[in-house]
């Protein structure tokens, strides 16, 4: 007879969105990452892409009339894109939006003015993108966001996210910067340099962040990376594995396209490919 108590059910994974922002750098395509505050309850001190949980306001059906690129998307798919746009605005000051009737994204001066008008909502994390779009006569440029990856935190973890990653070229007439609160630093960096500095212990980079950077880094330009993503299926990844001496041994599906199926991840986040 087995008297061991049954394992508790897994914590539900919270819907979340994250945005890989690319630009052309002097030595190749670069990504924008934020260094999370060490006071953060999640990913303390880690380099991360702008992103966060989907809010109830991101699911408002009225947003469909204020979003370009919403055609063919179900309500959940649209809410992930809205959340990614909102998080990018909140965390690094970039706003993927157009004046209604315009084909160009708004520029830095307009974005800075909007930040001032919505400073209170930005400070207390109550920003409502429908309210912003209506007040500023804007449409959200969801068409700029290309699905790139989908990761779900393993069921064994106490805090779980169901995260959709998107890729977009950073708006050329806006400036990305960290907020000084949730993030204490920011960096534009090539995937090659990111991996090198993470392995040297200069940055803490989580497994999904690293693998998505390397996937982006296979392309010779941001435009090529976006084109590749548009034509590639997104395969859901929920790593499985176990603790081993010095770190974890993780498995991910081959079909996800990361070039590995088994990896050893040490306590710093450094990855050794095993297969």
Q: Is pLDDT at 111 greater than 80 in this prediction?
A: yes
Please, what is the Cα angle at 185 between 181 and 186, to 5 degrees? 120
* pLDDT value of position 275: 62
Q: Give the mean model confidence (pLDDT) for residues 38-46.
A: 58
* pLDDT value of position 59: 98
β-strand 67-68 against 138-141: which pairing, if any? parallel
DSSP state of 185: E
* pLDDT value of position 182: 73
Q: Is pLDDT at 238 greater than 60 in this prediction?
A: yes
β-strand 28-36 against 46-48: which pairing, if any? antiparallel
Q: Which residues contact 240 (CB under 8 A, 6 or more apart)?
A: 154, 250, 251
Q: CA dist 162 to 66, 69, 125, 179, 224, Å?
A: 25, 22, 20, 25, 27
pLDDT cut 90: percent of the chain above it: 76
28 confidence band (pLDDT: 50, 70, 90): very high
Of residues 236, 235, 214, the one with CA closest to residue 225: 214
Report the SS3 class of residue 58.
Answer: helix
Q: Which residues contact 233 (CB under 8 A, 6 or more apart)?
A: none
Note the pLDDT tens digit of each residue in 142-195: 999 999 999 999 998 889 999 999 999 999 999 999 876 777 789 999 999 999
* pLDDT value of position 248: 87
Render 108-172 in DSSP notation, one character per residue: HHHHHHHHHHTHHHHHTT---HHHHHHHHTEEEEGGG-EEEEEEE--TTSSS-EEEEEEEEEPPT
Q: Is pLDDT at 41 greater than 80 in this prediction?
A: no
| Cβ burial, residue 32 (10 Å; 0-12/13-18/19+) | buried
* pLDDT value of position 268: 64
Q: Is pLDDT at 64 greater than 90 in this prediction?
A: yes
Residue 217 backbone phi and psi in degrees, to 5: -70, -10
Q: Is pLDDT at 40 greater than 60 in this prediction?
A: no
Where is pLDDT greater, at 247 or 70?
Answer: 70
Where is pLDDT greater, at 252 or 6?
Answer: 252
Q: Give the mean model confidence (pLDDT) for residues 228-256.
A: 93
* pLDDT value of position 32: 98
* pLDDT value of position 241: 87
pLDDT cut 70: percent of the chain above it: 91
């Amino acid at each position: 007879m087995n008297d061991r108590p049954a394992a508790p059910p897994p914590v539900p994974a919270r819907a979340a969105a994250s945005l890989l922002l690319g630009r052309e750098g002097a030595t190749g395509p670069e990504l924008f990452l934020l260094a999370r505050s060490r006071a953060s309850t999640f990913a303390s001190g880690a380099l991360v892409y702008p992103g966060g949980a989907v809010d109830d306001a991101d699911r408002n059906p009225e947003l469909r009339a204020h979003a370009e690129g919403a055609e063919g998307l179900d309500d959940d798919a649209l809410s992930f894109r809205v959340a990614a746009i909102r998080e990018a605005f909140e965390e690094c000051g970039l706003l993927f939006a157009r004046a209604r009737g315009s084909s160009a994204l708004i520029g830095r001066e307009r974005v800075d003015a909007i930040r001032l008008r919505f400073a209170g909502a930005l400070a207390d994390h109550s920003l409502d993108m429908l309210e912003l779009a209506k007040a500023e006569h804007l449409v959200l440029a969801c068409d700029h966001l290309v699905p790139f990856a989908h990761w779900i935190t393993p069921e064994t973890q106490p805090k779980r996210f169901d995260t959709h990653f998107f890729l977009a070229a950073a708006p050329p007439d806006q400036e990305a910067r960290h907020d000084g609160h949730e993030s204490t630093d920011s960096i534009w960096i090539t995937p090659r340099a990111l991996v090198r500095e993470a392995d040297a212990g200069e940055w803490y980079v989580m497994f999904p962040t690293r693998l998505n950077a390397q996937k982006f880094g296979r392309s010779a330009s941001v435009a090529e990376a976006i084109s590749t993503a548009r034509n590639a299926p997104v395969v859901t990844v929920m790593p499985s594995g176990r603790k081993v001496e010095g770190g974890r041994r993780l498995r991910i599906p081959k079909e996800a396209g990361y070039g590995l199926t088994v990896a050893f991840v040490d306590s710093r986040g450094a990855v050794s490919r095993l297969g």
